[in-house]
A and B are shown apart, each in its own frame.
Chain A
Amino acid sequence: MASDGSRNLAEGRGGVDLALMKRVAASEESAIAELYDRFGSLVFRMAYQAMPTRSEAEDAVQEVFVRLWKTAARYDECRSALVTWVMLISRRHLVDKLRRNKARLRTSSIEQPAAGSIESGNDAASRVDVQETMKALMQRIDQLPDLQKTVVTRAYLGGQTLRQIGEELNTPLGTIKSALSRALVRLRERSGEELAL
Chain B
Amino acid sequence: MNLQSLLENAHLDALGLLDERELADYNFAFAAAPPAVQQQIHEEQARWANLDFLLPRVEPPAHLRARVLDRLSAEILRAQAGGDVSDDVYTMRPSKRVSPIWRLAAVSLIGVAGVLGAAFLNVVMFNAKLGDNMTDDGVTRSVLSIFDGDDARINQKLFDPSTLTSIFAAKDRAFTGVACISTHPDWETATLNMRNMPAIEGSYHLVLVDADNRIVQDVANVGRGGTKRIDTHKVGNELLVPGVRIAIASVASGADFTTGEVVLSAKMG
Which residues of A does B touch, CB under 8 Å? 3-6, 8-9, 27, 29, 32-33, 36-37, 40-42, 44-46, 48-49, 58, 61-62, 65-67, 69-71, 74, 78-81, 83-84, 86-88, 90-92, 95-96, 126, 129-130, 133-134, 137, 155-156, 161-163, 174, 177-178, 180-181, 184-185, 187-188, 190-192
For A61, give its contact among B50, B68, B76, B79 (CB under 8 Å): B68
| Residue in A closest to B79 when the chains form the complex, CB atoms | A27
Q: Given known contacts A65-B71, A74-B90, A80-B45, is B52 in contact with A191 (CB within 8 Å)? A: yes
B16 at the interface (CB under 8 A from A): yes
A8-B39, A33-B69, A70-B85 are contacts. A79–B30 as well, Cβ < 8 Å?
yes
> Does B65 contact A36, Cβ atoms closer than 8 Å?
yes
Residue in A48, A62, A69 whose CB lies within 8 Å of B58: A48
Q: How far is the CB of B27 from chain A (nearest CB, A)?
A: 8
Show 24 A/B contacts (Cβ-Cβ < 8 Å), sorted by A.
A5-B36, A9-B35, A32-B69, A41-B60, A45-B58, A62-B67, A67-B89, A71-B87, A79-B27, A80-B14, A80-B45, A81-B43, A81-B45, A83-B46, A87-B51, A88-B16, A91-B15, A95-B16, A130-B57, A130-B58, A161-B17, A162-B12, A162-B19, A192-B53
Asked, given contacts A87-B51, A188-B53, whether A36 binds B68 with beta carbons under 8 Å apart, the answer is yes
Closest Cβ neighbor of A179 among chain B residues:
B8
The 5 closest A-B pairs by CB, nearest first: A5-B35, A91-B16, A191-B53, A44-B60, A81-B46
CA distance A71 to B91 in the complex (A): 9
Query: When the two chains form their complex, are residues B56 and A49 in contact, meaning their CB atoms are under 8 A apart?
Result: yes
Q: Which of A58, A69, A83, A137 contacts B50 (CB 8 A)?
A: A83
Task: Verify A156–B15 contact, CB threshold 8 A.
Answer: yes
Identify the closest chain B residue to A130 (Cβ). B56
- Roughly how many angstroms separate A179 CA and B58 CA in the complex, as a whole number? 29
Q: Are B35 and A181 interface neighbours, CB within 8 A?
A: no
- C-alpha spacing A192/B52, complex, angstroms: 10
A55 to chain B, nearest CB (A): 11
Give every chain A residue within 8 A of B69 (Cβ-Cβ): 29, 32-33, 36
- A92 / chain B contacts, CB cutoff of 8 Å: 16, 89-90
**Alpha-carbon gap, A5 to B89, bound state (A):** 30
Q: How large is the interface on B (under 10, 10 to 19, 20 to 34, 35 or more residues)?
A: 35 or more
Q: Is the CB of B86 within 8 A of A70?
A: yes
Q: Which residues of B lie under 8 Å from residue A137 when comparing CB positions?
A: 53-54
A29 to B119 Cα, complex, angstroms: 66
Chain A residues positioned under 8 Å from B48 (CB to CB): 84, 184
Closest chain B residue, CB of each to CB of A177: B8
Residues A126 and B49 in contact, CB atoms below 8 Å apart: no
Chain B residues within 8 Å of A188, by CB: 53
Do residues A133 and B38 form an inter-chain contact, with CB atoms below 8 A?
A: no
Q: Confirm or deny: B220 has a beta carbon within 8 angstroms of a beta carbon on chain A.
A: no
In whole angstroms, how far apart are the Cα atoms of A84 and B49 in the complex? 5
Q: Does B265 contact A (CB under 8 A)?
A: no
Contact of B38 with A58 in the complex, beta carbons under 8 Å:
no
Query: Within 8 Å of chain A (Cβ to Cβ): is B61?
Result: yes
A140 vs chain B, min Cβ distance (A): 8
Interface residues of B in 52-82 (CB under 8 A from A): 52-61, 64-65, 67-69, 71-73, 75-76, 79
Q: Which residues of A contact B15 (CB under 8 A)?
A: 87, 91, 156, 184
Which one of A4, A6, A65, A191 contacts B68 once the chains associate, using CB atoms below 8 Å?
Answer: A65
CB nearest to A43 among chain B residues: B60
Given A65-B68, A88-B13, A188-B53, A163–B35 Cβ distance below 8 Å?
A: no
B42 at the interface (CB under 8 A from A): yes
Least CB distance, A87 to chain B, in whole angstroms: 4
Q: How far is the CB of A16 from chain B (nearest CB, A)?
A: 14
* Interface: B5 (CB within 8 A): yes
Q: By CB atoms of chain A within 10 A, which of B64, B68, B71, B89 has the most?
A: B68
- Distance (whole angstroms) from the CB of B76 to the closest CB of chain A: 5
Assess the B89–A133 pair: CB atoms within 8 A.
Answer: no
Q: Is the CB of B76 within 8 A of A180?
A: no
* Measured CA separation A134–B69 after assembly (Å): 30
Please give the distance in Å from B1's CB to the nearest CB on chain A. Answer: 10
Q: Does B9 contact A (CB under 8 A)?
A: yes
Most buried by B among A45, A62, A84, A174: A84
Among B8, B54, B86, B87, point to the contact of A187 (Cβ < 8 A). B54
